[in-house]
Amino acid sequence: MQRYFVEQAYTEMVAEGFSLEGEDYHHAINVMRMKEGDQCYLVFQDEVAIKAEVTQILTEKVLLREVAREEQTKELPIHVTIACGYPKGDKLELVVQKGTELGAHNFIGFPSQTSVVKWDGKKLGKRQDRLSKIAKEAAEQSHRQVQPTVTMFEQSALFFESFSGYDQILVAYEEAAKIGEKAQLVRTIQEMKRGQKLLVLVGPEGGFSAKEVSYFESLGAHVCGLGPRILRAETAPLYLLSAISYQFDLLQV
């Protein structure tokens, strides 16, 4: 069943009545060809999701009524932010699409010392919009209750200032995998409690430099290995999110 993320909180919209407008209106009418009596999910900014039924179709608005709350929790108990040093090509698209399916809360791009690609402010804005749209579509398709945010930093310093806002920080570091580091990922995520925030740093193709990793460590980050195989820049975040889901969604039940 189709899923729409609306830009208001449930508590706001319940007062004025549920509706779809703008792009979602056009999607519901022209793509899904919804009629009165058809149902869809509405997901609100406060993580509430409901099953709703179309009651009326107006010129630029679909009106709906609540049928039931969605009871099953679709979200990971911890909030995971995936931060990628800008990789080449369209790898961030893959990370955002798959990472949204796998439960990430936020995506961040930043210029790593080893990033080959340079993005200026205007291009970054466009890219952020495009990636946000990919996140929205993937969130709808994968039945998320949260639409992940995408933030693209032009200067890494501004991003580094935000590190104090996280409960734990992990750095996926190829050199750690090579020397067989195995304990840190398990230790960190098993220590985390519901609602806590995890930041995961993943390098571009060449990996982070040793200097960058030391700097991250000085800001409270822990280096972790992701098994003995060397993963590409865009595969590491998918491994991490899958491992976190396995730990919290399947093992701890």
Structure tokens at 187: 């230790």
Q: How far is the CB of 61 from its own copies (least distance, A)?
A: 28
Q: How far is the CB of 183 from its own copies (least distance, A)?
A: 7
* Cβ–Cβ < 8 Å for 85, 111: yes
Integer CA distances (angstroms), 177 to 106, 127, 214, in order: 25, 31, 16
Looking at the Cβ atoms of 13 and 192, the one nearer to its own copies is: 192
Q: Segment contacting its own copies (CB under 8 A): 21-29, 37-45, 51-59, 68-76? A: 68-76
Among 2, 142, 149, 162, binds its own copies (CB under 8 A): 142
Among 185, 192, 202, 221, binds its own copies (CB under 8 A): 185
- Residue 212: partners with Cβ closer than 8 Å, 6 or more residues away: 112, 113, 114, 203
H/E stretch holding 138 reads: helix 121-141
Among 40, 62, 226, 233, binds its own copies (CB under 8 A): 226
Report strand pairing: 39-43 vs 49-57: antiparallel
User: Taking CB under 8 A as the rule, does residue 235 contact its own copies?
Assistant: yes
Reduced to 3 states, what is the DSSP secondary structure of residue 133?
A: helix
Looking at the Cβ atoms of 136 and 144, the one nearer to its own copies is: 144
Structure tokens at 55: 């009651």
Q: How far is the CB of 133 from its own copies (least distance, A)?
A: 17
Among 13, 102, 201, 233, binds its own copies (CB under 8 A): 102
Q: How far is the CB of 241 from its own copies (least distance, A)?
A: 8
Structure tokens at 71: 């009871």
Among 59, 165, 183, 194, binds its own copies (CB under 8 A): 183
Reduced to 3 states, what is the DSSP secondary structure of residue 244?
A: helix
**Residue with token string 């406060």:** 46
* Cβ–Cβ < 8 Å for 62, 29: yes
* Cβ–Cβ < 8 Å for 84, 108: yes
User: Taking CB under 8 A as the rule, does residue 251 contact its own copies?
Assistant: yes
Among 51, 130, 143, 222, binds its own copies (CB under 8 A): 143
Looking at the Cβ atoms of 4 and 25, the one nearer to its own copies is: 4
**Residue with token string 């398990």:** 186
Residues within the interface to its own copies (CB under 8 A): 72-74, 98, 101-103, 141-144, 180, 182-183, 185-186, 225-232, 235, 238-239, 242-243, 245-247, 249-251, 253
